[in-house]
Chains A and B, each alone.
Chain A
Amino acid sequence: MSLPDELTRIADHIDRLTGAVGRAVAWLAVAIVLVQFAVVLMRYGLGIGSIWMQESILYAHAVLFLLAAAWTLANDGHARIDILYAGASPRTKALVDLCGSLLLLLPFMAALAWYAWPYVARSWAILERSQEVSGLPFVYLLKSVLLLFALLMALQGIAQTIRAWAVLRRS
């Protein structure tokens, strides 16, 4: 198998991974609706509040938008200013995506991971918990999602680079 085919297969694998993660965390949208509504029912119907339920919704929301970002990128769901892009040839589009992933996405995610690492490590060192007494004791896990986000986005950036390169090579 030639190198380009090999690379395209890597891009396919990445798409499958980010797609699986994205589709999985998408179900958290339903969970957010149901749990938040349950919180409302409990509060207005029974007069009970639950901090850990409220925090679990925040966790679900954070995981949802961070871990679905790479899948959204694969589906071209992130807003572009397409005044010029929309009418561009496939070759120009591929060039924009190639430069964009190499010069913008990958460095940005690398920087985020670089600065997030000590931030997350500090949280793990004390197994940081919620500031509320009855809150969730998993703040260190929540913060780790930042690193996972950077990793998935970087992987998707690599896939985007490979596909853009393939388009440029063909034409």
Chain B
Amino acid sequence: MTGAETLSVVMVAAVCLALMAGYPVALTLGGVALAFAVLGELTGSMSMALIGALPQRIFGVMTNETLLAIPLFVFMGVMLERSRIAEDLLETMGRLFGSLRGGLGVSVAIVGTLLAASKGVVGATTVTLGLIMLPTMLRHAYDPRLAAGTVAATATLAQIFPPAIVLVLLGDQISNAYQAAQLAQGNFAPSSVSVADLFAGAVVPAFMLVGLYIVYLIATAFLRPKAAPAIPADPDAPRGVAMARRLGEVLVAPVALILAVLGSILGGLATPTEAASVGAFGAILLAARRIAPARTWPIDLGILALLAILPLRQLGPSAVLPLIAVAVLSAAIALLRVYRDGTLVQVTAKSTQFVSMIFLILIGATMFSLVFRGLGGDDLVHRALSNLPGGAAAAIVVVMLAMFLLGFIMDAFEIIFVVVPIVAPVLLRMEGIDPVWLGVLMAVNLQTSYMTPPFGPTLFFLRGVAPPEITTRHLYAGVVPFVAIQVAMLIVLWFVPGLATALPHALYGR
């Protein structure tokens, strides 16, 4: 190890220590890296001039079209959250399936998945599910361990269920790493991997996870009926046609929106950014409908006009322009409603701060990687990973373990921005490692880490909103079976990479 490389190792240790103090991660990464750049300059290990590349790198982030999907997906999630559409959904599904044995648990898993897909952020999903479903399940004598475990596991699906924000960021980083890896191998016409590929790759594993959760819940309900009892039918609950209408009202719209977003990406119709704008715009319309349930017709008319554009566009602008005019009017009414209601101000403020948080981490991590590379740390990682006994498999296992452990203290965003640019180019240079498979493996791994006791962040979020009769012990014991499902999924993914790669291959022919 050269002196500079030693310095890069010390820098990683120093960053970890400094992070534990609790100052914002982004600024800690940037500040500590700067200190080590100065140290490197003084000891002749690196040239400060390398930091001159920082503005250009940040400008690259500012003009990155892929990352534009982030503010749109965040806006969509926050709008759906603030408009309480999710709450309606949970309540109705609980009433519908509650009278079946284990039905309440299964409806939490299904609605949780929908929430995860629309919100894309674990914290928000955990809070919603924890505040609404946990008390309901406890009231109906569910085993507190089972209730807490179900909520924690389903909420964490937000990490990998497309269109998860984590997948957008991971897709962007993997794509850069894949290009770099191929260039390093002398391939100057590299093939590329996109966010849409990663979305498609995550679909099958994500659905398998939900399926396994549900199987576990049903099995528990039958083996230990006391843990997940059927709830007595609610005499005030609407029945028959009324129930079906209520279900249609609360279920169809959000599900259609999510399907439209996902379907258009997977079908290759739209880029993730385009689809995200449809999702965000749709969320505004749905929120406006929810605010004034008695006068939804102006909004419905706009939705119909938008839907009519697709089949009628062949007729040319004379057919499309009137439809667009109707949609614009309808959108104006919708915006006015969410503005007057105060929702819009809250949603813009919350989404803006969240987006700013993510991108500040990216800026800090960019500075960190610049200095880490400047000190030759990437060569060190390359040598260490390439010389492991056991080859590529061992290298991946080491990286996965490191990411899993880091997941206890750091957000997925931070790990993706800091670790992936350093390790992924090395891993992708090795024989037989598919970038989509690697990305999905990383995503499921980070998700597993997110809910693993005792440090999994989801458990902390849930701790904060859970009713007092749920103890930390309940929470830990309840989530363990779900963690076991996750680990099983990781092992299956390891031996059957096709679970991640077959769908993108079929859809996009990669």
Contacts and interface: CB of A to CB of B under 8 A. Distances in A.
A23 B323 CA distance: 34
A62 B30 CA distance: 19
Interface stretch (B62-70, B108-116, B161-169): B62-70
Interface in A65-84: 65-66, 68-69, 71-73, 75, 77-84
A41 B55 contact: no
A17 interface: no
Contact of A146 (B58, B63, B324): B58
B320 interface: yes
A97 B23 CA distance: 6
Contact of A45 (B32, B65, B277, B324): B324
A41 B309 contact: yes
Contacts of B20: 81, 83-84
B28 A68 contact: no
A74 B284 CA distance: 28
A165 interface: no
Contacts of B331: 34
Contacts of A32: 68, 71-72, 75, 277
Contacts of A46: 313, 317, 320-321
B32 A33 contact: no
B31 A40 contact: no
How many of chain A's residues touch chain B, expressed as a range? Answer: 35 or more
Nearest to B360: A69
Interface residues of B, number: 74
Contacts of A100: 21, 23-24, 27-28, 31
Contacts, number: 211
B52 A108 contact: no
B58 A108 contact: no
Contact of A79 (B26, B62, B323): B26
A111 B51 contact: yes
A146 B25 contact: no
B344 interface: yes
Given A72-B360, A104-B32, A146-B58, A40 B277 contact: yes
Nearest to B58: A146
29 contacts: A25-B352, A29-B347, A29-B348, A33-B281, A33-B284, A36-B273, A36-B274, A36-B280, A37-B278, A44-B313, A45-B324, A58-B62, A58-B65, A61-B68, A64-B355, A65-B355, A69-B356, A73-B24, A77-B353, A79-B411, A79-B414, A82-B22, A104-B27, A107-B34, A108-B34, A112-B54, A142-B62, A143-B59, A146-B59
Given A26-B348, A36-B68, 9 more contacts: A30-B348, A32-B68, A36-B72, A40-B278, A44-B310, A79-B414, A80-B25, A111-B51, A146-B58
